Amino acid sequence: MGDELIGAKSEGTGADDALSEAELRPHVDDAATPPFVNPMEVEFARLLDFYHIPWLYEPTSFALNWSGEQVTEMFTPDFYLPDQDLYVELTTMRQRLVTRKHRKIRRLRELHPTINVRLLYNRDYHQLLATYGYGVVEIASLREEDIERILVSRDELAARVTALGEEISHDYPDRPILLIGVLKGVTFFLADLARAISRPLAIDFLALARPARGGSERAVRIVKDLDRDIGDQHVILVEDIVNTGLSLDFLLKELRARKPASLAVCTLLDKAEQRVVPVPLDYIGFTIPDEFVVGYGLDYRELHRNLPFLAVLKRQVYTMTEPVTERAR
């Protein structure tokens, strides 16, 4: 769109309130955050930031009408969402403003029929969020107000898992792989990772009884063992999250005793701040802070595994005593 970059915007979104730049700047730690024209844009930017949706503010101006070679009218959409290749113009319910914006958008589509542009009301925000995978919160009984923030979006997960699959495929060019998943939070990650690997592979699972927070390695035991012999096989142990390292350290000792040809570890999440026992991690999706995360297989009291993104729960949502499920790893 570089040849259509004309200049500064000639019309805002129509809000009557004139706020200072400091008041309009959203609460993000980003010195490059632009000043916004009105509070609607602030609200929308905060919403996008909360849900980890990439955006650009007023990135392009489009010429709409000319007098000879002189541009007499142009249009600059408020936001551009690169993941959707979508230009967004925000609007209120004021009919005068809506009519004017509709006219400009119709003209833009006449001149540039391939451009994806949308006039967005407040009521449309959740519909837009659904296109990013955020329309499924209620199916897991997780209220939007229970979420502190989105930690990793659906699209970020997909991109990182694909990259991990490519890295593993490169590292095992002539060798079949055995992926061992540690139940049950790993199921979503393991399925997507396996599809991203372009080498022959087999899959097996095991399950552990894990220690409570502050427990010891002696509290870890295998409650569901593998179905196959791993001797002389190239094994990648796949975890959803590594916290203390106690469970993983125990499991690596058990698997090494079975004499695989090689043994590597791939984890979606590394909560390195909680590490008690040093453990080798060969492939890491994301290093995350010490917060309670749900989604993409991770649960709170067996709920929220089916969320297609990773969200941080607010502290008041869960009790001070975490359920003894799959957290102390």
Sheet with strand 283-287: strands edge to edge: 221-224, 201-209, 177-183, 234-242, 262-270, 283-287
Token couple for 258 = 């079975």
Q: What is the mean pLDDT of each run of 10 residues along the chain (329 residues)?
A: 38 35 36 72 90 90 91 93 93 73 92 93 84 68 78 93 97 95 94 97 91 59 92 97 93 96 98 93 95 91 87 77 48
Alpha-carbon span 248 to 231, nearest angstrom: 19
Residues of the chain with CATH 3.40.50.2020: 151-317
Long-range CB contacts (within 8 A, 24+) of 145-148: 146/313, 146/314, 146/317, 147/311, 147/312, 147/313, 147/314, 148/291, 148/311, 148/312, 148/313, 148/314, 148/315
Q: Write down the H helix ranges in the chain.
A: 21-24, 39-50, 95-111, 125-130, 154-171, 187-196, 246-256
Return the closest-CA partner of residue 150 out of 325, 318, 329, 304: 304
Question: Quick check: helix, strand or coil at residue 62?
Answer: strand
Which amino acid is residue 303, in one-letter code? L
Backbone angles phi, psi at 122, to 5 degrees: -55, -40
Looking at domain 151-317, its CATH class is alpha beta
pLDDT of amino acid 100: 85
- CA dihedral of residues 198, 199, 200, 202 (deg, nearest 10): -80
pLDDT at 275: 92
What pLDDT shows up at residue 133?
79
> Can you give the pTM of this predicted structure?
0.70
